[in-house]
Chain A
Amino acid sequence: MTSTDDVTPVLEMRDIRKSFPGTLALAGANLRVLPGEVHCVLGENGAGKSTLMKVLSGSYQPDGGEILIDGTVVQIGSPQQGMAAGIAVIYQELDLFPDLTVAQNIFLGHSPSRLGMVLRRSRRAEAVQYLARVGATFSPDAVVRDLPIADQQLTAIARALTTHARIIVMDEPTATLGEADVDAVCAVIRSLAAEGRAVIYISHRLAEVEAVGDRITVLRDGSTVARHVVAESTPEQWITDMIGDKRKELTEVHSGAAVTGDAHLEIRHVRIPGLIDVEDITVRKGEIVGIAGLGGAGRTTLLSAVFGARPSQHSIFIGGAPYRARSTLAAVRAGFGLVPESRKAEGLMLGLSVWRNAGISSIGRAPWLMPHARGRALSEPVIERLGVKFARGTQAVGELSGGNQQKIVLAKWLTRGSTILLLDEPTRGLDIGAKADLYRQVRLLAEQGAAVLVASSELGELVANTDRIVVLHEGRKIGEFDPRLHSEDTITHAIISGKTS
């Protein structure tokens, strides 16, 4: 830590706390940002980075703590107030309007106008100026949808400049960019800082942080645990701070004996150009294999490709026989069951009843009659075994709690008799009790002979509940760990750095 206390920070967040039902997202986070610096915020999945930025932008209201801008306490009650206070946030999923032109996007909501008429010519002229400042070479008349991602990124930055933002937050701006584009965006970030603006930069790519950052704040489990000056520290130190001393935590490790036998599911390779290139993942019968990785590492993409929900080049074997992931129907017939990332959008038909949801994958067989009675007869014992709580089987599944909804998604596949389960973030949004219960059920299924692949951004869960952990990094498998042998910090190190040293 250096003596920067004599400069008034443009932004100071003190002891910010924020909790959501079931989780404490921020437990006293501090952030001090000086004018003219690029300040990087680092942390694992779930460390609280995004929540902190949403508090700053006014999207979330903190439960405690205070925010100071130029040394004065401010209340940021809404994103509008955040903007008025000089804060602009550029999200990873750019919130641009794809069908409007660049100039329209840049000045949306505050176009130069007279008597309610937009002054197109002066808007265009001003847009040209702002684009020049971010080093953009495309026309302001271009439609955003037609631009490459990097240029859309620059459009978003130009828009932030028009609101005269003095604090610009960039949430993983380079996650979807290639090498050359990253350099361009980094150059713009440096020039913004040179103008005296403060840039808060969130990225998982430590090389970029080294290239573009001035100082670093590290978050862990919702608290600020370290501050560094980039030039005076090394990525190794940052990683150590991000991981913390995991050995002190009482993480339970699945204590069962290692599962032996032949691979039931054998993924030789799955390739989607530009997204993932994963090789060599095997799952035995009775085994639960975890897939760990940062956001964007390709966990969800891998599972949906294996399930046939998106096209890929692949070589996959089930019980030694080749399997083609042509369609979801083919996957279901081959014995797969997918518990998707978003149970509401992809897992359930919320308006239909508990029994109809649980039975939907099991009724597609001769004689193709009496779906309700058959679905109910098949699913009722499964639902009971899973311990789902509900009032009536005819109740709409949307009325159940998150944990019980997730069990219905699982029940859908157990009713069908699926032998290979693909679980994508199965505990998202569940409270601790429901999480434990879900994993207990999954373990029971494995003991009955199912092969299970679980993708999760919460490593603690995978360590506690899986037999092996495969680590993905930027779309590739970089290693495999045994939670009984490897410590959580070793695995976290691999997840963040992409190296298995």
Chain B
Amino acid sequence: MNDTTLIATSPTGVPPGGPVDRSAADRSAAWRRRGSSWLVKGNLIIVFAVIVVVASLLSPDFLTVRNIANLLQQSSLTGIIAIGMTLVILTSGIDLSVGSTAALSGMVVAIALDGHVPIFAAVLLSLVVGVAIGLVLGTISATLRLPAFIVTLAGLTAVRGIAYLTTDGRPVGQNLPEAFTVIGGGYLGVVPLTGLIFIGVAVITAAVLKFTTFGEYIYAVGSNEEAARLSGVPVRLVQIAVFGFSGLTAALAGILLTSRLTIAQPTGFQGAELDAIAAVVLGGASLFGGRGGVGGTFIAVLLLSVLKNLFNLLGIGSFFQMVATGVILVLALILNKFIDARARHV
């Protein structure tokens, strides 16, 4: 029942549309809005900068080339996983299976190399395994309309089990070729190769999000799935694809860890999914989808490792580190929410 009065309409003249002329007051409001939105986007960078300054003041070792290189090295693997996670979260999904997928892919590449498979083929095989896991989980979740949380939680357990089963729980890859181990452990000048790969993955993904129809569809699905469907967006395909991509980035991280450690362990990447999710959310993405981006995730990943690095330099124990990281994460989110709410009310 729609209880509005019956009204007969009559055509009336309508002034032309388009952006309305703004008065001075409107313009200043617009400036204020723009200022706030810059603050929203920029607040993470500000926090990051503050922490870097504090870190360099507290510890003279912080701003050394060696330390920075180390930092990039350490953050790159979680970072790569977080980039894939960003796309999933943008569609309002979540992927809890990434840590297990990374571990399995790391095992697969080592086993293949031990079997004298060429490096290129071994890496490709491992990536295919990662993508396949993502596509399977994504397909189950999207076509059967099951919550991604549960489907990928099942994936987390099952895939980890497969990782153990490949070698019955033993580490593998004692004789990895040096041409392979250099990928994860090598440097270009002073810059670690994994750091460059992380930056490369971030840039490519950001470009996909901004400059392709697929990227736009990701935002559309996350913003309003039903409206997207009724606009002719292939919603399920998009949902499946982001899980495939998440599997791909997880596999890449797994290969790099095996390469860096020159050995593969089925126990690797325990809890990596939570680190990735934390970084994505800290980076400003909404868990309800449709809002966020790769840039925010990138900064957030660096921020979290700078914090960890700072604690290490200060000699703070790892138990305390865990508590402090949690507290800082919550504080950052509160700050984000606060600025966001203010921006909306301008």
Contact = CB atoms under 8 A, between A and B. Distances in A.
A384 B227 contact: no
A172 B1 CA distance: 10
Question: How extensive is the interface on chain A, given as a class?
Answer: 35 or more
B323 interface: no
Interface in A294-327: 295, 307, 309
Q: Which residue among B3, B17, B223 has the maximum number of chain A CB atoms within 10 Å of its CB? A: B3
B175 to A, nearest CB: 44
Contact of B3 (A50, A329, A347, A427): A50
A312 B21 CA distance: 48
Nearest to B18: A384
B3 A46 contact: yes
B14 interface: yes
A389 B21 CA distance: 10
A49 B230 contact: no
Interface string B215-237: 11101100110111111111000
Contact of A391 (B12, B26, B223, B226): B26
A75 interface: no
Contacts of B6: 44, 46, 221, 458-460
Interface string A79-109: 0000000000000100000000000000000
Interface stretch (A155-163, A183-191, A282-290, A434-442): A434-442
A440 B13 CA distance: 9
A324 B9 CA distance: 35
Q: Which residue among B19, B226, B228, B290 has the maximum number of chain A CB atoms within 10 Å of its CB? A: B19
B120 interface: no
A329 B234 contact: yes
A192 interface: no
Question: How extensive is the interface on chain B, given as a class?
Answer: 35 or more
A208 interface: no
A371 B1 contact: no
B230 A346 contact: yes
Given A172-B1, A329-B232, A351-B291, A371 B8 contact: no
A356 interface: yes
A333 B231 CA distance: 11
Interface string A340-352: 1000011111111
B321 to A, nearest CB: 36
Nearest to A463: B8
A352 B20 contact: no
B227 A393 contact: no
A61 to B, nearest CB: 15
Contacts of B213: 363-365, 368-369, 371
A460 B8 contact: yes
A356 B2 contact: no
28 contacts: A20-B4, A49-B1, A249-B8, A252-B10, A307-B230, A309-B229, A328-B232, A332-B232, A349-B219, A356-B220, A361-B232, A363-B213, A370-B211, A372-B210, A384-B16, A384-B18, A388-B18, A389-B20, A391-B30, A435-B7, A439-B11, A440-B14, A443-B11, A457-B2, A458-B7, A461-B7, A463-B8, A464-B9
